[in-house]
Amino acid sequence: MKILLIDDSKDFRALVGLHLFRHFKEAQLADYEIENLGKPGPDFDWSKYDVLLLDYNLGGGEDGFTWLKEFSSMPGFPPTIILTAEGDEYIAVKAIKLGAADYLNKLDLTPQRLVKAIIEATEYTPEKKAEQEKDKIQAEHLVQELHDKNQKSSRKPVIGSAYKFVRVIGQGAMSKVYLAERQSDQLSLVLKILEIDNLTDDVAVVRFMQEAELVSKLSSPFVVKIYDYGLANNYCFIAMEFFSRGDLKQRMELRLPSDLAVNYMTHIVYGLDAIHKIGVVHRDLKPANIMFRGDDNLALADFGISKKLDSQSELTTLGQILGTPHYMSPEQGEGKMIDERSDIYSAGILFYELLTRNKPYIATTPAALIYQHVYAPVPELPPDLAKYQEIINKTLAKHPDERYPSAVDLIQALESL
């Protein structure tokens, strides 16, 4: 695989070359010395390369987006990954709108993420782009259908805006997630759509809509913003905040200093406090559900399996388990009733992983993991992290009564370190 790198920093080009040499033996990096070569001419042979890594800010007033617009229609132009040191939603969204296969922030870049992005970019073929265009058209028809049906229906809430779809950015078992633009003000956002035509279980629909209904009531900087949501006979949707800086799972690939780990955990628990105050348990707290905005502030996201604590109807029967086994409290793993202290336990698992880069419990099956959560002793931190052991002990206590009784109490413990 031949990769072309266009960046105005010699040091960064050398670093990328080193990463690829160590972690991606199949790659051959072509180092384009922009300081000597300047802008590629009309006879430049782009077809020699499988992937283009293109800097957003090329120095000397040159703009990578301008180059992308100018050259992308040329024969053999390769899939492009935009690189930038700026964590701005505008840059991320514009890169995708211009047809880039991906967007990577240099501040969060790791060898593993770079290699993964390159491999995925090679799969961004013209056929794949055509498939995404088809998805966009279908999604736009869907929103219009939702709008028309809600106008005739007594169901609430009613969709207030139409959306322009940019690209599919995720897909689950029952839902698709799109990067979209609100037509009324060009706000870039994420649109999550669930098709309910073939579902026999109304629980899935209720749970999906709870994500919007519960979180839309919050006004917390530590919780995802919900802009709009709707329900029709065949579909429901949620329009929510777009996060350009990725998730905590990506950050945890880096070696985070302990003071930054404490800072992240404190903000996560502020988010828990906000949702607990309206009677919501997250029930799936994990790194992939902690998102970062362009200003590097984090927020809790993905409340698809949250529930109202004072609800008269349970969304799961006793013994049914929802969540991610690595971060699941003992009582959740056993299918028992849970409350806010289950999220406190999950936060303790996260904190241990933030501090050590390791999960406290490892097993080959979900059942074995749940067994460890229930019976294995609380793990010991390395000696250099011993001052955090008391918080680990109390958050990861096996019985809920032995944990911090509330998020506020955990915040106080973290802020007193």
What amino acid positions are annotated as catalytic residues? 284
Here the tokens at position 286 are: 């994990």
Contacts 24+ apart (CB under 8 A), 29-36: 29/3, 29/5, 30/2, 30/3, 30/4, 30/5, 31/5, 32/4, 32/5, 32/6, 34/6, 34/7, 34/8, 34/58, 34/59, 34/62, 35/8, 35/10, 35/59
Element counts in the chain: helices (H) and strands (E): 14, 16
Q: How buried is residue 248: exposed, middle or buried, by Cβ count under 10 Å (0-12/13-18/19+)?
A: buried
3-state helix, strand, coil in the chain (%, to 5): 45, 20, 40
| CA pair distance 228, 190, nearest whole angstrom | 11
Residue whose C-alpha is closest to residue 191's, from 203, 183, 200: 183
H-helix or E-strand containing 176? strand 175-182
CA distance 281 to 276: 6
Amino acid residing at 358: N
Instruction: Answer yes or no: are the C-beta atoms of 303 and 211 closer than 8 Å.
Output: yes
Rounded-to-integer distance, Cα 347 and Cα 35, Å: 48
